[in-house]
């Protein structure tokens, strides 16, 4: 068997036939090509695959996953060694929809148009993340020779459009925030006040330690986050590790909390560990809204409240982005409605100035 081959094509009645030797040296052929050029192009791809098999760059068919489920299991098992447990749990959850749609299919049998159609049926809120995880798994398999064809190649995966997002529903006033706090257990009563007063993400809020409250500098230091039952050092983005100004209402709320010496966590659970967001939401947060007679808001809406109140007070976007650990682009995209109000006030101020200048 030659170390390298090109194979050859021959005329067979009204069509052309490609002939080559497979990776084991056995002679193979494929007929039915309308032209010699078509046969040659197909053959070149085939012998290229055989060369890759001999080099070890491509796995034999028998060693490749026979179904999408098997490929995803392999991806989670091998890729899971390099990611933290929270990320692995998130991937596992997001891949369930792909399993439901393609699980029993052979990975190489899936066509791009099928993947595009499937993506369009996903809920707007989870579409971007679910498709991203599936594409990551398929691309991982293609890069390692587990699949021959990546059906997700070239499919755009934009984040959901503004009209598809959940509405931003901030609290109307501090009075509403305090109404909610009054219905919470004293251990948790400071949480909505601190959340609204600092704009922290829920995972940042529940990752705080008492030592992060720097009274001398007058800031709250954000250096870690607790998500998916995992404590992660650093922030969600490059700018997420930051110092947030401590306003008086936040310090008052922190000082009013029951004292605990059994844990360094600022907002500990009953047993002194980190609060799990999902359990907190349905066991504590939602019942408190019902008891207070307030329209329900998500825990994340505390961050939205911080941002909208700051924008309405005329805080510069670059500074707001810095203390929220995000970007001005994200702020402009999320809070366009409130920025419009600011523009209206600014326009009115300009008009008033111009009128005074004319009258003078």
- Residue 126, domain member (yes or no): yes
Give the model's pLDDT for residue 1. Answer: 46
- Residue 353, domain member (yes or no): no
Mark whether 194 and 333 lie in a shared domain: yes
Confidence of residue 4 (pLDDT cuts 50, 70, 90): low
Where residue 316 sits, what CATH number does that domain have? 1.10.443.10
The mean pLDDT of 249-273, rounded to a whole number, is 94
The mean pLDDT of 187-214, rounded to a whole number, is 96
pLDDT tens-digit readout, 154-175: 999 988 765 566 788 999 999 9
Mark whether 207 and 279 lie in a shared domain: yes
The mean pLDDT of 257-281, rounded to a whole number, is 93
pLDDT tens-digit readout, 208-242: 999 999 999 999 999 999 988 889 998 777 778 99
pLDDT tens-digit readout, 48-84: 877 876 776 666 666 788 999 999 999 999 887 888 7
Confidence of residue 97 (pLDDT cuts 50, 70, 90): very high
Which SS3 state, helix, strand or coil, does residue 286 take?
A: helix
Domain that holds residue 133: 68-164
Task: Please provide the average confidence, as pLDDT, over all residues in the chain.
Answer: 89
Mark whether 149 and 207 lie in a shared domain: no
Give the model's pLDDT for residue 164. Answer: 60
d(CA 212, CA 223) in angstroms, rounded, equals 8
Give the model's pLDDT for residue 57. Answer: 63
- Residue 332, domain member (yes or no): yes
d(CA 265, CA 256) in angstroms, rounded, equals 15
Mark whether 230 and 286 lie in a shared domain: yes
Give the model's pLDDT for residue 44. Answer: 87
Give the model's pLDDT for residue 50. Answer: 79
Mark whether 48 and 85 lie in a shared domain: no
Confidence of residue 252 (pLDDT cuts 50, 70, 90): very high
The mean pLDDT of 185-204, rounded to a whole number, is 96
- Residue 181, domain member (yes or no): yes
Confidence of residue 355 (pLDDT cuts 50, 70, 90): confident
- Residue 120, domain member (yes or no): yes
- Residue 247, domain member (yes or no): yes
Mark whether 312 and 190 lie in a shared domain: yes
Mark whether 156 and 192 lie in a shared domain: no
pLDDT tens-digit readout, 16-29: 999 988 877 888 89
Mark whether 234 and 314 lie in a shared domain: yes
The mean pLDDT of 297-326, rounded to a whole number, is 94
- Residue 350, domain member (yes or no): no
Quick one: what percent of the chain has pLDDT higher than 70? 93
The DSSP symbol for 347 reads H
* Higher-confidence position of 292 and 359: 292
**Which helix (H) or strand (E) segment is 224 a member of?**
strand 224-227
Pure H helices in the chain: 36-55, 68-79, 85-94, 96-102, 112-121, 124-143, 174-182, 190-198, 202-205, 248-255, 277-280, 286-292, 301-312, 317-324, 328-334, 336-359
Number of domains in the chain: 3
- Residue 352, domain member (yes or no): no
This prediction's pTM: 0.67
Mark whether 50 and 76 lie in a shared domain: no
Mark whether 81 and 200 lie in a shared domain: no
Last residue of a domain, which of 117, 136, 164?
Answer: 164
Last residue of a domain, which of 115, 141, 164?
Answer: 164
Mark whether 54 and 150 lie in a shared domain: no
The mean pLDDT of 314-331, rounded to a whole number, is 92
Where residue 95 sits, what CATH number does that domain have? 1.10.150
Give exposure, 320-337, as e/b (b: 16+ Cβ within 10 Å): bbbbbbbbeeebeebbee
Mark whether 276 and 178 lie in a shared domain: yes
Give the model's pLDDT for residue 64. Answer: 80
Residue 3 has pLDDT above 60, yes or no: no
Burial of 43 (0-12, 13-18, 19+ CB in 10 A): buried
Quick one: what percent of the chain has pLDDT higher than 90? 60
């Amino acid at each position: 068997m030659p170390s390298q081959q090109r194979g050859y094509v021959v005329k067979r009645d009204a069509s052309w036939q490609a002939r080559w030797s497979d990776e084991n040296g056995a002679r193979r052929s494929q007929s039915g090509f309308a032209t010699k050029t078509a046969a040659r192009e197909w053959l070149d791809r085939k012998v290229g695959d055989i060369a890759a098999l001999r080099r070890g760059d491509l796995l034999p068919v028998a060693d490749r996953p026979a179904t999408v489920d098997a490929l995803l299991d392999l991806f989670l098992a091998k890729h899971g060694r390099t990611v933290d447990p929270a990320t692995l749990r998130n991937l596992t959850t997001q891949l369930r929809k792909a399993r439901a749609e393609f699980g029993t299919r052979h990975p190489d049998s899936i066509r791009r148009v099928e993947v595009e159609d499937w993506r369009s049926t996903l809920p707007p809120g989870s579409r971007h993340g679910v498709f991203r995880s599936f594409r990551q798994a398929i691309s991982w398999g293609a890069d390692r020779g587990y699949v021959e064809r990546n059906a997700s190649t070239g499919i755009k995966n934009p984040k959901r459009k503004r009209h598809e997002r959940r509405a931003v529903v901030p609290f109307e006033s501090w009075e509403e925030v305090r109404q909610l706090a009054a219905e919470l257990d004293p251990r948790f009563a400071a949480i909505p006040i601190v959340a609204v007063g600092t704009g922290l993400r829920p995972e940042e809020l529940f990752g705080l330690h008492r030592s992060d409250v720097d009274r001398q500098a007058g800031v709250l230091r954000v250096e870690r986050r607790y998500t998916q039952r995992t404590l992660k050092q650093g922030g969600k983005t490059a700018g997420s590790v930051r110092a947030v100004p401590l306003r008086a209402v936040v310090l008052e709320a922190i000082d009013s909390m029951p004292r605990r010496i059994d844990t360094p966590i600022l907002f500990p659970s009953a047993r002194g560990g980190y609060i799990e967001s999902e359990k907190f939401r349905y066991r504590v947060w939602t019942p408190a809204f019902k008891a207070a007679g307030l329209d329900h808001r998500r825990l994340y809406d505390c961050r939205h409240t911080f941002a909208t109140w700051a924008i309405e007070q005329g805080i510069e976007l670059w500074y707001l982005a810095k203390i929220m650990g995000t970007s001005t682009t994200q702020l402009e995209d999320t809070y366009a409605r409130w920025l419009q109000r600011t523009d209206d006030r600014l326009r009115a101020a300009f008009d008033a100035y111009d009128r005074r200048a004319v009258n003078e």
